[in-house]
Amino acid sequence: MSQHLPPQAGNLRTEVLKVVGNDFGKFRENDGLEKVGEWEVSQSQSAKALQEAANYLRTKDIPVAFPTETVYGLGADATRSPAVKGIYSAKGRPSDNPLIIHVADLDMLRTILRPATEKDVAPNGSHDQIPDIYKPLIERFWPGPLTILMPNPSPSQLAPQVTAGLQTYGVRMPASPLARSLIKLVGSPLAAPSANASTKPSPTTAAHVLEDLDGRIELILDGGPCPVGVESTVVDGLCDPPVVLRPGGVSIDELRECPGWEKVEKAYKDHSEAGKAAPRAPGMKYKHYSPKAQVILYEATCPALHKGVDQQDLELKDNTSNIVGVIRTRCWQPGGGLLCGDFTVQERLVAPVESINQVDVELEVRDADLLKSPDGAPVGKILDVSIGKDSRSIAHGLFSALRELDRRDADVIFVEGTLDDEDIGAAVMNRLRKAASRIRS
């Protein structure tokens, strides 16, 4: 593999390393908050396969892609500036967009909560640096898809590029045992945004990562598809009342069930906030999750939603090369109500695979001739994907469907929105609104 060189598009050899098995480690037995206090890496072959990647992350400045329960992350040692800069370079990410760090256990979190001048000093047990407001959340949702904002001590152990100049940083403990063991073996928290090129849909499989970052990084750990499919929820409990900065895998209703979080408020917008001050959390300022194709989103509240795609939204080229994508959820018929011929199943987006998460992606692409009139000649084709009717299925399949229709050169993608309730549906619609070129409501 290459030496300490900044990744340049196309000049690195990217290796995909399949990681099999599910025996990566366990938490040392304990109660309450301390049930996630210390992660112990197993001596299994599954865990040993991660050692090469951990050594690489300790010594190189090029990030490594790895699976979590949400999406694939692009990880680098969060304490080393050259390594963190490698993330921004590989993704083409704006430098004022902060990064979330990932820890293996509470021991690691408590270490980075101390100033750099005290990092080698054992805690005396008299004062826990974890703010009390977060303890109910940690006890209920960690490890899992929840990121909490923490105060950054001075001097900080984290590379300054992680926080993008902010006085806080986001941290979470991933549910994936593979991810936790990798972090533990590195011995430092990993800064890890989604492992996609900036503004592209987030990757939920190793193939998605390779599609975006082939030649930009050297190592992708393939642990199978991600079970959640959207990124973590980001919350700030350092203000009163506490707020949700980004919707994700934990709903606002679930948060409100926790002591101290009964009055949590929404503090995010469903569009990019470019031109504003530095974002408090990833995903707030810039347009994210966007495919190359034009995306037209039909909100669940659109009065004519049940009728499908409005023909006036269909702008056809004067030839037969039109490619129209349709992503369906609860109501639309195949093709979104557009005039078309009979559908045939082309292929699955991702074939069922044996993975550490035991998650299969069951989406199919179906195609049919696109017609301008019932008895007219074809003017192109429709690519139709149903991503399910419940919010979890929709979240799991959304990014895969957007990527696949983009890969098939769709000119436009019509998306049937889901209910914007305050479970994971809020996260799905937040991502879709950021991806959309036009919104029908």
Give the model confidence (pLDDT) of 261-270 as tens digits: 999 999 887 6
Residue 111's φ and ψ, nearest 5 degrees, are -65, -45
pLDDT value for 355: 37
Cis amide prior to 241 (ω within 30 degrees): yes
pLDDT value for 175: 96
Judge whether residue 35 has pLDDT over 80: yes
pLDDT value for 3: 35
pLDDT value for 263: 96
pLDDT value for 284: 55
Q: Tell me, what DSSP letter sits at residue 38?
A: -
Judge whether residue 93 has pLDDT over 50: yes
Q: Tell me, what DSSP letter sits at residue 133?
A: G
Confidence of residue 255 (pLDDT cuts 50, 70, 90): very high
Whether residue 377 contacts residue 370, with contact meaning beta carbons closer than 8 Å, is answered with: no
Judge whether residue 24 has pLDDT over 70: yes
**DSSP code string of 229-293:** -S--EEEE-SSSS-EEEE--SS-HHHHHTSTT-TT-EE---SS--TTSSPPSSTTSSS--S--SS
pLDDT value for 149: 97
| Tokens 């926080």, located at residue | 163
d(CA 316, CA 337): 16
Strands 233-236 and 146-151: parallel
- Range picked from 49-53, 162-166, 177-181, 306-310 for highest mean pLDDT: 177-181
Judge whether residue 353 has pLDDT over 80: no
What's the whole-model pTM score? 0.82
d(CA 80, CA 65): 17
**DSSP code string of 390-408:** SHHHHHHHHHHHHHHHHHT
Average pLDDT, integer, range 114-130: 72
Strands 219-222 and 15-18: parallel
Work out the percent of the chain whose per-residue pLDDT is above 90. 58
pLDDT value for 274: 47
Give the model confidence (pLDDT) of 404-426 as tens digits: 898 899 999 999 998 876 567 88
